[in-house]
């Protein structure tokens, strides 16, 4: 069984892996169950991310003077993305993130040898 996104295989399950799954899933439902679980993971990630985005931006939009905020999720997200101050995770990420080894007083954590 192959799970694809935009025609790219992102997960390949062997027959043995499927049989292992069938230990806890009725064999006749295994494909439907796997499809349901994959969809749930993506939908859950979207819902969690949207909730965080909304919690952050409700306050910002209010402070920017927006009185009418869309209730439709897509329109709400488009409003946020149109704000000059919006930055994606890639844009917010620092080029040299601080690691635990850079924090004074943190002891007992061995720095990995990456060479």
Is the pTM value of this prediction over 0.95? Answer: no
Q: Which domain holds residue 75?
A: 2-89
Any idea which residue has 């919690």 for tokens? 55
58 in a structural domain? yes
Q: Are 53 and 78 in contact (CB under 8 A)?
A: no
Q: Are 3 and 38 in contact (CB under 8 A)?
A: yes
Write out the chain's pLDDT in tens, 115 residues: 999 989 999 999 999 999 999 998 888 889 999 999 999 999 999 999 999 999 999 999 999 999 889 999 999 999 999 999 999 988 888 666 556 556 666 555 555 665 5
101 in a structural domain? no
63 in a structural domain? yes
41 in a structural domain? yes
The DSSP code sequence of the chain is -EEEETTEEEEE--HHHHHHHTTTS-GGGHHHHHHHHHHHHHHHHHHHHHHHHHHHHHHHHHHTT------SHHHHHHHHHTSTT---HHHHS-SS---GGGSTT--S-PPP---
pLDDT of residue 89: 87
Q: Which two tokens stand for residue 99?
A: 């690691």
100 in a structural domain? no
Q: Give the number of domains in the chain.
A: 1
Residues 3, 14: Cα–Cα separation, whole Å: 12
């Amino acid at each position: 069984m192959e799970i694809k996104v935009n025609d790219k295989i992102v997960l390949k399950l062997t027959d043995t892996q499927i049989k292992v799954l069938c230990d806890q899933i009725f064999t006749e439902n295994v494909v439907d169950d796997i499809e349901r679980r994959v969809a749930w993971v993506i939908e859950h990630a979207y819902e969690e991310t949207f909730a965080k985005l909304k919690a952050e931006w409700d306050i910002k939009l209010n402070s920017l003077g927006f009185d009418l905020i869309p209730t439709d999720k897509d329109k709400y997200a488009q409003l946020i993305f149109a704000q000059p101050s919006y930055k994606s995770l890639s844009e917010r990420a620092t080029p040299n993130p601080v690691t635990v080894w850079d924090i004074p007083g943190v002891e007992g954590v061995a720095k990995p040898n990456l060479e």
